[in-house]
Every structure is written in C-alpha cells, then in structure tokens.
Structure 1
Amino acid sequence: MNFNKNKPIWLKVRLPIGGKYDNINNLLIKESLNTICKSSDCPNLGICWKNGVLSFLLLGNICTRSCKFCAIKTGKPKKINVLEPYKIAKTVKKMEIKHVVLTSVNRDDLKDMGIKIWIKTIREIKKISNSTIEALIPDFKGHKKKIALIIKEHPEIISHNLETVPRLTKKVRIQAKYDRSLSILKYIKKKSDIRTKTGIMLGLGETEVEVINTLKAIKKANIDILTIGQYLAPTSKHYPVQSFITPHKFKYYKNLALEMGFLYVESNPLVRSSYNAYKHII
C-alpha cells in the first residue's frame, strides 16, 4: 500500500544493495546492534552505508512514546543490553568510522531514562577509537542534570530535533513539547562550546510563515546546524503527508537560513537528521 500517495520523482530512491551494505548489515546482526537508519526507514540508507556511515540506535528498537511521524515501534521495550556500549565501540573501531552518530529511543520506563548507557557508549568509543561523535539525544523529559552528563562527555556535536513548527507539535509529537525541546538546545549552548544541531520536517501542514518563524527561533537559540527534510508517512496509521515540498522551496529555506547565520544547513527533500553528519564537525 502506498502511504505517500503521488510521491514525486525527486523522492524516488534506490534500494540498498551491494557488498558494503551486506557487510555492514551482517556485522550489525552478528553484534545484535540497532541503527536509526533501518529502524526509521531512512531513504539515504543505501548511500550512507555504501560510504561506511551509519547512526547507532541505543537502548533497543522499541520506544515508550508514540510519535505520529516516527517509524520506530512503540510498546514495552526489552531489557537493556549492558554490553551494547562495548559492542558499538568495537564496531566503530572495526569499521574505522571517522564520525559516528549516536541516538536512542525514548526510555521513559527507566528511572535514569537510559542516560547510563548513553554515557558508557560515548566513553567506550573515545577509549578505543579516534572517531568524532554526534549525540542526537531525546528530551529526557527536560531533566537538565541528565543533559549536563552528556555535555560533560563533550561529544563534538549534540543534537535534538524540534521536528516541526509549534502549532503541529502536539499533533505529531504527542508526548513531547516544542518549548521544552528548544530549552534543551538553549541549555546545551549556554553550558558549553559544543556545536548544537536540530532538524525539522516539512509537509506536515505547516505554513511558510510558521517555517520562517521557527527558523528564527532556532537561530535565536544560537543553534549552529540545521537540517530540513520532507516528511514521509511510515504507515497508514501515522500522520498523513499534507504536501510534498519542491526542491526549489527547500533551496529557498536553505538560503534563508544561511542568511540568518547558521553554520551549516542541509535542506532538501531526502535530508534526515544524520544527512552529511560527518561534514558538520569541519
């Protein structure tokens, strides 16, 4: 079934195939590791894996939240794999990954919301490899002490996605809050010199004025890096696509954001949070 009816040609992508993809996939299966690449059905998976770039998904692949835009399964998560940080670090070293993105499902079921695994993973990667790190964190319900622990480990980039404009946040990010997410990004920049990053999706029903106002709010929070991509519905049960934004419009928003002073802006229909992530540390 087509959940993104009349998808335009610029959103057509090739299925991932080939030796590089197979090698990475087999290694991940062997180590029982998850990636956001596969769990979120990223359209860039084939390109990224071909180049040896991937984003690890910590704390399992079942989320305690039920965001209407996300392909990750919602339900009761399995028991935490305490060996996950070591396995990820070993895989990063084996693959000779120069820049790794770490993200996770929301684990609101845990007392520490998974922060111990986050910290251990960053430390283990730094211990055995020279890879730079982007930590794409959940909101940890806005608990600043937990976010401070991530800051203390000093990954090269800390990112947290706003996903959409304020008006649509409650519709697509049911358990999240726009203001809370923005305050997290402000806090990171206030407490550190670490590069900050966020992303939004288009095609959810936002207006141009809302997009521009959101870009202004993001820049006011001193965020360095911005990603803008087209929303695609994972299934018929997810929030429906309201419109397909043209590449020309994405370019318009990119130029506008660059004029505002963002350090890096990735803006085209196929952009996702980790798109060209390795370029953002340069």
Structure 2
Amino acid sequence: MVTVLDTRAERPRHPEKAKRPENEVQKKPAWIRVKAPVSKGYNETKSIVRDNNLVTVCEEAGCPNIGECWQKKHASFMVMGEICTRACAFCNVTTGRPLPLDPAEPANVAEAVAQMGLKHVVITSVDRDDLPDGGAQHIADTIAAIRLRSPETTVEVLTPDFLRKDGALETVVAAKPDVFNHNLETVPSNYLTVRPGARYFHSIRLLQRVKELDPTMFTKSGIMVGLGEERNEILQLMDDLRTADVDFITIGQYLAPTRRHHPVIRFVPPDEFKSLETTARSKGFLMVSASPLTRSSHHADEDFAKLQAARAARDAALQLA
C-alpha cells in the first residue's frame, strides 16, 4: 500500500486518518444530537408509510432529522426496493441482489403523498445497476403518478448516477421533476474508499447534462464533510458544480451508521459550516444549506420556495443591469 504524502510538510495528506483507528467511534458533540422521535405526527407518518408498503430514505439511511420531519408529515420516499447494487462505505442501505420492481409502487407513493398532503415531495432510490435503464422509467412513472394524484405537489428527485445507462437521464428529465438532485457525496480523492462504484466526473457531467436538456430545471447536489477531506478540495468541488450550472448545494456532517462503515474522521463545528455557506454563496449558488444536520431532503419544501424566489430575484436583477 502506498501512502500519499504532502512533501511540503513531510506529513500524511490526511493526518486525521492516520491517527484514528477504523473501529473507533467518536462521541457526538452537543451540536449534532437530536431528540428521539416520539410525537403523534411521527407515528401517523409511520402508519401511512407502512400502510402503503413503502420504503423511506429517512429510515434506511438512519437520518437524524426523522423525528422533526415525520412530525410534520414530511417523508422522502425511496423507490425500487431496499437492496442496492452498490456498496458505498458511508451508506447503511443493504447491498445485494435486488428484487424485481413493484409495478404498484408508483401509485402507492402517489397515494401516500396525497394522504400526507405534501406540497413538495422528494423521491430517491437505491442504485439498480441490474436494470437496463437503472430504474429511470420507474422513477419517471412515480413522478407521473404523483402528478396525476396530486397535481399541485412539486416533485424533487434524488437520482443514482445512471452509470453506463444510455438514455436513462433523458427519461427522468422528460418526466419534468421540479428539482433534479444528484449527490456527489464527497470530494474526488475519497471516491475509491467512500464511493468506489461511482465516478466523480461522470456525476458532474450528469448534472451538467440536465441543464443542457432543460435549462429551466433546478439542479441540486450535496456532500458530507468529516470524511478526511481538505477545505481546498471542497472549494474545488464547489467550482466544479458551478461549472455544471448547479443551483443548490447542501453540506452536512457525515455520521457513521455502524462501526463497519467508514469512520468519522472529524466532527466539523458549526462556524466552519457557516464559512462554507458564505463561500458557496460567493461562488454563485442560488441556494446553500450548510450545517451539521443538513441532509439533501431536509426542509426540501421550504428550500424549494426559497430557490424559486432566489431565481426570480436574480432574473429581475439581470433585467435591470
């Protein structure tokens, strides 16, 4: 094994990684702790999800915001099953051979959206490398079912990368989601260990292609910090996203689901998130959400309204210029 060195200081490139054993679990700081989900709204949301035989990324990813979101009857649905064909080191979703697609799932998701009265819904999925289109048509069918059942509801999709799936991206964009989200997850130097089945520049190109197909569609991407990345790598990632004309970036703290997953190298304090937010806004993103508990779909409904307002303000300013 070769260690990459910073020759300017003769030290490991990620010194935190060298110091922290992989099985060591750091104690969470006060700013990352949340209350246990026990509210009436939480239980009602759970019942709707169960009654419609659905899977949520809130549960599968062990999201720390589930209590807050489900109390408000906000849930992010994960379609195409609970088994993923990828094995990312940060993710708690089961890896293996997925089951066949459930043809009733799009209608079931649409029914749950209607029962919850959602104004904005996030639809994500596992990676389905086993399918010829990566599940793109199933995602498009889910969007169409929601439009039919709840025509006033806006739809945000958080998609896989559709690596080597020609035409898949075009199928999803043609279904006209209001927001197209695809997460980079981490900086490129971490991909081999954190996201080994993906390709950083393919993901950048995917987001760029969305804008080429539909310049009016909002695009969004998110990353986790605390995986050993350096600040200059985050800034370069921001520049790459802006080159692809991405509108919205989310930045949150990585939390290891279990001891078997990639360890948390560092808990990033709130003031550093604030600094990253300020920098991202200076680079031209319409929207930035950066905090320890930020997740891709957290406050997605409120953020979509802000995103629309930010674009309107920018367009108005350009007309006056």
Normalising by structure 2, report the TM-score.
Answer: 0.85
Looking at structure 1, the residues matched to 164 and 285 of structure 2 have their Cα atoms a distance apart, in angstroms, of 24
Looking at structure 1, the residues matched to 140 and 278 of structure 2 have their Cα atoms a distance apart, in angstroms, of 36
Runs of 4+ in 1 over 3 A off after TM superposition: none
Decide whether the 8 Å contact of 1:3 with 1:234 is kept in 2. Answer: no
Amino acid at match of 1:7: K
Once the 2 structures are TM-superposed, how far is the Cα of residue 281 of structure 1 from its aligned partner?
2.5
Looking at structure 1, the residues matched to 102 and 25 of structure 2 have their Cα atoms a distance apart, in angstroms, of 35
Partner of 2:234: 211
Matches of residues 84-95 of structure 1 in structure 2 within 5 Å?
84-95=105-116
Does 2:154 align with 1:132? yes
Decide whether the 8 Å contact of 2:74 with 2:116 is kept in 1. Answer: no
Partner of 2:120: 99
Partner of 1:61: 82
Matches of residues 236-255 of structure 1 in structure 2 within 5 Å?
236-255=259-278
Q: Which runs of 5+ in 1 are unaligned?
A: none
Does 2:304 align with 1:281? yes
Looking at structure 2, the residues matched to 3 and 45 of structure 1 have their Cα atoms a distance apart, in angstroms, of 25
Matches of residues 213-228 of structure 1 in structure 2 within 5 Å?
213-228=236-251
Once the 2 structures are TM-superposed, how far is the Cα of residue 279 of structure 1 from its aligned partner?
2.4
Looking at structure 2, the residues matched to 157 and 87 of structure 1 have their Cα atoms a distance apart, in angstroms, of 21
Matches of residues 32-51 of structure 1 in structure 2 within 5 Å?
32-51=53-72
Decide whether the 8 Å contact of 1:4 with 1:232 is kept in 2. Answer: no
Amino acid at match of 2:55: N
Looking at structure 1, the residues matched to 289 and 172 of structure 2 have their Cα atoms a distance apart, in angstroms, of 24
2:49 pairs, out of 28, 41, 64, with: 28
SS in 2 for 1:141: coil
2:101 pairs, out of 75, 80, 85, with: 80
SS in 2 for 1:46: helix
Once the 2 structures are TM-superposed, how far is the Cα of residue 143 of structure 1 from its aligned partner?
3.3
Amino acid at match of 2:118: I
Does 2:26 align with 1:13? no
Matches of residues 93-242 of structure 1 in structure 2 within 5 Å?
93-129=114-150, 130-192=152-214, 193-242=216-265
Does 2:280 align with 1:260? no
In the alignment of these two chains, the number of paired residues is: 281
Decide whether the 8 Å contact of 1:63 with 1:76 is kept in 2. Answer: yes
Once the 2 structures are TM-superposed, how far is the Cα of residue 72 of structure 1 from its aligned partner?
0.8
Looking at structure 2, the residues matched to 112 and 128 of structure 1 have their Cα atoms a distance apart, in angstroms, of 25
CA-based RMSD: 1.2
Amino acid at match of 2:206: I
Decide whether the 8 Å contact of 1:142 with 1:180 is kept in 2. Answer: no
- Percent same amino acid at aligned positions? 40
Partner of 1:272: 295
Once the 2 structures are TM-superposed, how far is the Cα of residue 153 of structure 1 from its aligned partner?
1.1
Decide whether the 8 Å contact of 1:62 with 1:72 is kept in 2. Answer: yes
Looking at structure 2, the residues matched to 115 and 257 of structure 1 have their Cα atoms a distance apart, in angstroms, of 30
SS in 1 for 2:67: helix
Residue by residue, what CA displacement relative to the aligned partner does 1:11-46 show, whole Å, maximum 9, x if unpaired?
111111121111111121121100000000000111
Partner of 2:4: none
Residue by residue, what CA displacement relative to the aligned partner does 1:82-125 show, whole Å, maximum 9, x if unpaired?
10000000111111110000000001112232122111100010
Decide whether the 8 Å contact of 1:16 with 1:47 is kept in 2. Answer: yes
Q: Which runs of 5+ in 2 are unaligned?
A: 1-22, 306-321
Normalising by structure 1, report the TM-score.
Answer: 0.97
Distance 1:107 1:122, change over 3 A: same
Amino acid at match of 1:54: A
Amino acid at match of 1:173: R
Decide whether the 8 Å contact of 2:105 with 2:142 is kept in 1. Answer: yes
Looking at structure 2, the residues matched to 33 and 200 of structure 1 have their Cα atoms a distance apart, in angstroms, of 26
Decide whether the 8 Å contact of 1:225 with 1:280 is kept in 2. Answer: no
Decide whether the 8 Å contact of 1:142 with 1:181 is kept in 2. Answer: no
